[in-house]
């Protein structure tokens, strides 16, 4: 079982503030790094799939960067809104196997 | 509408009684997978399938079986369920053109007593 770690486990953000959090994964045997957004009582939804070192992806106020050499990815939320409250999961793909981190739960306070 | 469907959505059963959770996708995806979600542990992959008749173990395959006889269907079979298989189960599918980005089903809440 490959170790995919996310930190912090949870964070609280004031509405309008920006935040970021980390996904760490093995730097060898890398195929892709996925990010998902998971709202309470719903199913996870894909945000990004990243494959290349130095990759940057953006969707609205959410963006992500990837460093495959050192084995980490950052997810950024700019100008957090209450609807950004969710658990954000990363998943490391090695061959066709996907290993998920435990997630970072973001709570945005109005 | 593109979707992954799972049935049943909720199931309470007893130890040892064989059960099957069905999963179907209408997006012609090559890749399908089963996950279980337990508090504090995140999603853990049980089995995955790259195509018809091609399946492989994920991180937690013990106590589960799968089959992929048709591209759209990927049932999860618990031959002899035990209480430690009480969990929330998700089926997902993904296409090669989207780098196997996972589309998740609605989840199946299983309780084994």
Q: CA of A46 to nearest chain B CA: how many angstroms apart?
A: 7
Q: Which two tokens stand for residue A105?
A: 């739960």
Q: Kindly identify which residue of chain B lies nearest to residue A31, measuring between CA atoms.
A: B99
Comparing alpha-carbon positions, the chain B residue that sits nearest to A3 is B59
Query: Which of B42, B58, B103 is facing A89, going by the closest CB pair?
Result: B42
Question: Mean pLDDT, to the nearest integer, of A6-12?
Answer: 97
pLDDT tens profile B16-27: 999 999 999 999
pLDDT of residue A28: 86
Chain A residue with the nearest C-alpha to that of B59 = A1
What DSSP string describes B52-105? Answer: TTEEEE-S--TT-EE--SSTTB--EEESS--GGG-EEEEEEEE-GGGTTPPEE-
pLDDT at site B108: 98
| B54 to chain A: closest CA residue | A96
Band of residue A2 on the pLDDT scale cut at 50, 70, 90 = confident
From the list B44, B100, B104, the residue facing A43 with the nearest CB is B104
Of B84, B99, B27, the C-alpha closest to A91 is B99
Using one digit for the tens of pLDDT, what is the confidence trace for A84-93?
Answer: 999 999 999 9
Supply the mean pLDDT for chain B.
96
Q: How many CB atoms lie within 10 A of CB A71?
A: 19
Q: Are strands A45-50 and B10-13 parallel, antiparallel or unpaired?
A: unpaired
Q: Which long-range contacts (CB under 8 A, 24 or more apart) does A78-85 make?
A: A78/A18, A79/A16, A79/A17, A79/A18, A80/A13, A80/A14, A80/A15, A80/A16, A80/A17, A80/A18, A80/A19, A80/A106, A80/A108, A81/A15, A81/A108, A82/A15, A82/A108, A82/A110, A83/A108, A84/A13, A84/A108, A85/A39
- Average pLDDT in the A14-18 region? 97
Say what the pLDDT of residue A1 is: 67
Q: What is d(CA A38, CA A98) in angstroms, rounded to the nearest whole number? A: 17
CB spacing of B43 vs A45 below 8 angstroms: no
CB atoms within 10 A of CB B92: 29
Question: Which of B4, B10, B43 to probe by mutation at the A interface, max A CB count within 10 Å?
Answer: B43
Count of CB pairs separated by less than 8 Å, A with B: 57
Chain A positions touching B107 (Cβ under 8 A) are 43
| pLDDT at res. B89 | 98
| pLDDT at residue number B2 | 87
What share of chain B in percent tops pLDDT 90? 91
């Amino acid at each position: 079982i490959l170790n995919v770690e996310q930190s912090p486990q949870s964070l609280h953000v004031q509405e309008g503030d920006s935040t970021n959090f980390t996904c760490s994964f093995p730097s060898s045997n890398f195929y892709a790094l996925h990010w998902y957004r998971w709202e309470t009582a719903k199913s996870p939804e894909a945000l990004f799939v990243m494959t290349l070192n130095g990759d940057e992806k953006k969707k609205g106020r959410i963006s992500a960067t990837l460093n495959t050499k050192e084995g980490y990815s950052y997810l950024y939320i700019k100008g957090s809104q209450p609807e950004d409250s969710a658990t954000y999961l990363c998943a490391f793909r090695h061959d066709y196997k996907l290993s998920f981190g435990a997630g970072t739960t973001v709570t945005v306070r109005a | 509408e593109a979707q992954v469907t799972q049935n049943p959505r909720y199931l309470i059963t007893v130890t040892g009684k064989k059960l099957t959770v069905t999963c179907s996708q209408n997006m012609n995806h090559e890749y399908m997978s089963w996950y279980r979600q337990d508090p504090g542990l995140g999603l853990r992959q049980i089995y995955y399938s790259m195509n018809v008749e091609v399946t492989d173990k994920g991180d937690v395959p013990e106590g589960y079986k799968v089959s992929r006889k048709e591209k759209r269907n990927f049932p999860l079979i618990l031959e002899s369920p035990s209480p430690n298989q009480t969990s929330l189960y998700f089926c997902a599918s993904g296409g090669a053109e989207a780098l196997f980005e996972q589309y998740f089903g609605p989840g199946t809440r299983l309780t084994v007593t």
